[in-house]
Each structure stands twice: as C-alpha cells, then as structure tokens.
Amino acid sequence: MKKLISVFLVAMMLLAVMAPMASAANERTPIVYIRGNGDGLYYEDGTLCVAQFEDLSLGGEDGIDKDTVVETAVNILKPFVLEGMLFDEWDNYGKALYEEIKPLFPDAGLDYDGNPTKGTGVLKKTMDDSIAASKSTWNWVYNGQYSFAYDWRLSPYDHVERLDAYVDQVLATTGQKQVSMYCRCMGGSIVMAYLEYLDEIGETGKIKNVLFCDILSNEATVISKGFSGQIEFDANMVERYAGQVDFLGKVGDGVGFEFTEVLYEIVFKTMDFFNQINVTDKVLDGVEELYAKLANALMPALLHATGMATQVNYWTEINDDDLDAALDLIYGKEGTEYRIKYAGLIEKIKYYNEHVSSDLDGFYDMLDRNGIHYAFVAKYGFLNFPLTADADLLTDALASLEHVAYGATTAKVGKTLSADYIASREALGLGKYISPDKQVDLSTCRVPDRTWVLKNAHHDEITSLEPLIWEFLNGTNETVDTVTSGSQFMVFDYETMKLSKMTEDNCADYEWITRPVEEPTTATRLGAFMRFFTLILNFFTKLFNGTLDFSNLLG
C-alpha cells in the first residue's frame, strides 16, 4: 500500500512539473509561412493551371520528344542565322521564339490589368483558408506553422487584406496576441507589402518576429538586369556556369542536368575558344553590341511567352534604378500602343515600387519604429545566370548575397576582399563580421547581429535551416549571439546534407568556380579556333540537313 501511495505521489509531482511545461508549449508563437513561386495553381473547378516551369514537358510520356526539339530548334535558329546574323534583322527571330515557347505556358500570363485570365488560382484546391487545412504540408517536426495559400503571379497588394484576415484567424484559433512571419524567395514581397499595409492601418502590433530568407524583394540581380536588357558576355563565367549546371544535375537541386559527352564538348569548346582568343576591346564591344540586339528581341518575346512579363510579383524584384528601362524594353516607351494597353498592370507594378522598393531603407525604418524584430538569412557559393550584368556577384544561383543580407559588402565570384579592406574593418573592431573565407563582410549590413550566411547551398535548400528558423521565430529579440542552432557563418555539405560552422578549413569554393583559365598563347589560340570552327560547321550542317542526333546531345 505504501508503495502504491509513493507511486501515486511521484506521478502527481511529475504532472505538477509537466503542467507548466505543457502550458509553455502552448504559448509558442504561431508562425505564418509565405513561400515563393512554383506551387501548383488550380482553378475553381479543380483543374491545374499550368503556370510555372516545373510543369513543362517537351512532349511524349517517355521523356523528351526529340523530333519536337529538332523542329523547334530549326524554327528558332533559321531567322536567328539567316536574318539576324546575316542582315541584322531580329524581329522575326523574336516572333519565332514567342510562337515556339508560348504553347508551353498556355495559362501562365495575366491580363492587361494584372488579373488572371481564367480566375485566381490557389495553392491547392483542397487547401482553403481554414486553419486545419492550411497547416504546413512540410514534414516539419515542429507544431505551430501555418502556410498561407496565394496566387504568386499577382501583385503583392492583391493579397494583403486576405492575408490579414488569415493572420487574425490564426490568432483567434491559437489564442495568441502575435504571430511571427517567415518568408522566402518571392514570398518576401508579399510580406513586405503586408507589413506596409499594417503600418498604414495601425495594426503592426500583431507581428512579433519576421525572418526574411533568400528574399528577392531587396533586388534579384538576374531578374532586374534580365528584364531591363542589361546583357553582358563573359566566356569564363559561362564556362563556370556550365560546370555548376552539371553539378546541380548530379545532386538533384536547383536548375541543373548532367552533361552528356557531346553537350559537354559543345559548351566547353565554345567557351575555350572565347577565352583563348583573348578578345580585344573592339571585338568585345562587337560581341556585347550583338548581345544587346539579341536582348531587345529575345527578352520581350521570352518574358511574354512564359507569362513572366505580366506576373506582377516578378516586377517587385527589379531594382528601382532598372525599372524604367525594363518597362520600356518589355512594354515600349510611354505613349506607345502596347504601353497603353497594359496600363492597368503597369500601375500595379509602379504602386509596389512607390510604396516599398523605391525606399527600402524607409521600409526597414518602419519595422524598427513599430518594434518588429526582423532578421535575414542569405546564401552564396553559386553563380547567377552568366549573360546578365552583375553576374559576378556572390549568389545562391538566383539571389545576390549583398541584396538579401541588405547591405553586405562582398567580393566578386572566386575572389576575396582585399587585405587593406579587411585590416580597416578589424581596426574598427568589426573583424568578427568578416567570413572565414574572406569573401563577405556583414558589418555593413542593415542588422549585422541578425544576419546569417550559409555558403555552398543553393537557393532551394532550406531543410537544413529549420532549427535556426524555428528558434528565431519563437524567440524574443534573438540575435546571432543568442541562438544555439546556428552560427553566423555556416557551410552546407551536399554529401551529408548538413550544416557546420564555417572555418578556414571547410569554406573552399566549388571547383568550377576556382578552375583556372589557361593563359592564351599563339598555339592555344589557333588550336581553340580550329576546334570551335569544326564544331560549329558540323553542328549547323547536321542541323539543316536533318541529321543532327539529339539522342547523343540530350541523353
């Protein structure tokens, strides 16, 4: 009997201890998650809206329809070579490109006013705004995260009132007074528009923490320069990028595919030629002039065919200084017929620019003024698309670190910060903000004590960061010095899929970035030219007589 009573008392003591722990668990801050683009968009009848690259198919249930690829390539290359290259006439090239690509994106674009042509899509047909259905479908081991479903093509301001109602519903369901918000990629513009809206209506008090992870809304260089037609050619960067694509194909992350032997030969012989000829300024000017003409024909056709030109959220990622040039290139000058036709959509683009992106310092000042605790997570170690200006910035393959981290000072790809610069920062007592690889200085950031950096992780890698994300969003005034689940500078390993603290011993660049370029000599130039000339001659001969074997080219 005494033993039974003892067991009972022990059980009661355990319950007494666990009760406040359970209560504390229920007090965890609910997290509202807003992701970027790429999720399936569905019409009201439940059918899929094909609106993103993930839905692309080049035909055939067994994979790539090689006959279709050949026909498409010929239709595009003929006006490119026979009219553009020979007679400097590029209009038909742009039209051919549009006609070949547009059928692959039948429902991607919005109308002239920036609205869906067939109704607003939602993240999942079965996922309505109820809290139960909207909990994250991710396999997180944590509770308390809620995913907001939205049509990522629209203007961020098209979502703010519905997002506000959703946040209120989360608060009512959980009984909490504040939520923390976590956004990444294109979700950053949604959250920024929402926070600006809350400030306007005086309700920012419902937001506790905000984590901006890999966001593009501080500027996505590749999109900003691409939309505005700022094309630059660097053969070394193209060769590096080809190595990156091959690597990503092997690890199954991001935009990548493993090169076949034939394709590898085509890419690297071409880039070897451009590197070896060591082009003069005059020749380089000619190459860049050609690419500028290509951009004027290619970018509007490509962006309209894929629907990206009309997807307002992409325009939120364009630098304020590039916006006018981008609008002129994609929609024509002020007063032209095309520009007038898209006036409603352009108004939405400019509205976001005026309220947020034209004064990012003012936006973050507003967060400080309202007591919203925010932080940034940025990545680098991968290359931007190599034919756009600023392709040599440190990026995660899409977002540049200096912009995501908002104010970071960085070296160029494959380089380090100068010894004099590092010494000057260390003299000011700011040496701890210099990365062990000497490529990044976070002391110049907006919030250096609330900025984390991850090297050698692609833009799409997020799982390894979950503990850090969770700790920051559930904490109070967390900084890089108070969190226990991550260091300010970290490295990602694709073999182990784990993070580790960055040290001087584990922070090497990927080999395709550090691969040296052979110094040109008369012999190497001649050899590179002969290899390139033979390659091009064989390629076009087989292409136009219909004997090009795409099975070897595409795998």
Task: Check whether 202 has a pLDDT greater than 50.
Answer: yes
Kindly state the average pLDDT of the residues 542-548: 58
Kindly state the average pLDDT of the residues 504-522: 80
Task: Check whether 136 has a pLDDT greater than 80.
Answer: no
Task: Check whether 521 has a pLDDT greater than 70.
Answer: no
* Tens digits of residue pLDDT in 67-115: 555 566 666 665 565 565 555 666 666 777 777 777 777 777 889 999 8
CA dist., res. 545 & res. 538, Å (int): 11
Torsion of Cα atoms, 138 then 142 then 374 then 35, to 10°: 10
pLDDT category of residue 11 using cuts at 50, 70 and 90: very low
Pick 211 or 43 by higher pLDDT. Answer: 211
Tracing tokens 């995501």 back to the chain, one arrives at 404
pLDDT category of residue 124 using cuts at 50, 70 and 90: very low
CA angle, residues 262, 102, 319, in degrees to nearest 5? 90
pLDDT for 333 equals 92
pLDDT category of residue 251 using cuts at 50, 70 and 90: confident
pLDDT for 287 equals 55
Least-confidence region, from 12-26, 177-191, 275-289, 463-477: 12-26
Q: Between the ranges 49-63, 125-139, 339-353, where is the mean pLDDT highest?
A: 339-353
Task: Check whether 307 has a pLDDT greater than 60.
Answer: yes
* Tens digits of residue pLDDT in 265-276: 566 556 666 655
Identify the helix (H) or strand (E) that includes residue 379. Answer: strand 373-380
Buried b (16+ CB within 10 A) or exposed e, 531-548: bbeeeeeeeeeebeeeeb
Percent of the chain with pLDDT over 90: 42
- Would you list the domain boundaries of the chain? 116-220+357-513
Pick 62 or 331 by higher pLDDT. Answer: 331
pLDDT for 426 equals 97
Task: Check whether 354 has a pLDDT greater than 90.
Answer: yes
Burial of 293 (0-12, 13-18, 19+ CB in 10 A): middle
CA dist., res. 455 & res. 463, Å (int): 15
Is the distance from CB of 388 to CB of 221 less than 8 angstroms?
yes
pLDDT for 526 equals 60
Pick 514 or 528 by higher pLDDT. Answer: 514
Least-confidence region, from 226-235, 323-332, 467-476, 538-547: 538-547
Residues with Cβ within 8 Å of residue 31, at least 6 apart in sequence? 144, 145, 146, 179, 180, 181, 182, 470, 473, 474
Is the distance from CB of 231 to CB of 240 less than 8 angstroms?
no
* Tens digits of residue pLDDT in 259-303: 555 555 566 556 666 655 554 444 445 555 665 666 677 788 888
Torsion of Cα atoms, 260 then 263 then 266 then 268, to 10°: -60
Least-confidence region, from 146-160, 201-215, 476-490: 146-160
Average pLDDT, the chain: 77
Tracing tokens 């600006």 back to the chain, one arrives at 196
Task: Check whether 195 has a pLDDT greater than 80.
Answer: yes
CA dist., res. 149 & res. 144, Å (int): 16
Tracing tokens 């989360």 back to the chain, one arrives at 170
Is the distance from CB of 216 to CB of 204 less than 8 angstroms?
no
pLDDT for 519 equals 62
E strand spans, 200-339 = 207-213
Residues with Cβ within 8 Å of residue 186, at least 6 apart in sequence? 36, 37, 152, 216, 217, 313, 314, 316, 317
Question: Residue 378 forms beta bridges with which residues?
Answer: 453
Residues with Cβ within 8 Å of residue 363, at least 6 apart in sequence? 192, 195, 196, 356
Kindly state the average pLDDT of the residues 179-201: 96
CB atoms within 10 A of CB 390: 19
CA dist., res. 406 & res. 445, Å (int): 6
Question: Residue 409 forms beta bridges with which residues?
Answer: 441
Buried b (16+ CB within 10 A) or exposed e, 273-291: bbbbbeeeeeeeeeeeeeb
CA dist., res. 527 & res. 517, Å (int): 15
Single-letter amino acid, residue 201: I
> Tokens representing 263?
């394709």
- pTM here? 0.81
CA dist., res. 283 & res. 235, Å (int): 13
Which of the 8 DSSP states describes residue 434?
Answer: B
Task: Check whether 436 has a pLDDT greater than 70.
Answer: yes
> Tokens representing 379?
């990545």
Which of the 8 DSSP states describes residue 229?
Answer: T
| CA-wise closest residue to 327 among 349, 344, 357, 356 | 349
Tracing tokens 């505005």 back to the chain, one arrives at 228
Task: Check whether 335 has a pLDDT greater than 60.
Answer: yes
pLDDT for 255 equals 59
Is the distance from CB of 149 to CB of 33 less than 8 angstroms?
no
> Tokens representing 438?
């000497």
Phi and psi angles of residue 404, each rounded to the nearest 5 degrees, phi first? -60, -45
191: left (phi over 0), alpha (psi -120 to 50) or beta: alpha
Question: Residue 189 forms beta bridges with which residues?
Answer: none
* Tens digits of residue pLDDT in 375-423: 999 999 998 887 778 889 999 988 999 999 999 999 999 999 999 999 9
Residue 442 has, within 13 A of its CA and on its CB side, a CA count of 25
Is the distance from CB of 353 to CB of 217 less than 8 angstroms?
no
Task: Check whether 483 has a pLDDT greater than 90.
Answer: yes
CA dist., res. 106 & res. 48, Å (int): 11
Task: Check whether 126 has a pLDDT greater than 80.
Answer: no
Task: Check whether 141 has a pLDDT greater than 70.
Answer: no
CA dist., res. 392 & res. 453, Å (int): 18
Kindly state the average pLDDT of the residues 167-178: 90
First-to-last alpha carbon distance for the chain, in angstroms, is 77
Residues with Cβ within 8 Å of residue 328, at least 6 apart in sequence? none
CA dist., res. 242 & res. 228, Å (int): 24
Pick 441 or 93 by higher pLDDT. Answer: 441
Pick 455 or 225 by higher pLDDT. Answer: 455
Torsion of Cα atoms, 150 then 155 then 159 then 161, to 10°: 180
CA dist., res. 48 & res. 13, Å (int): 55
Q: Are strands 48-49 and 41-42 parallel, antiparallel or unpaired?
A: antiparallel
| CA-wise closest residue to 453 among 463, 467, 444, 441 | 441
> Tokens representing 91?
């209009």
Task: Check whether 491 has a pLDDT greater than 60.
Answer: yes
Task: Check whether 514 has a pLDDT greater than 60.
Answer: yes
Q: Between the ranges 44-53, 343-352, 376-385, where is the mean pLDDT highest?
A: 343-352
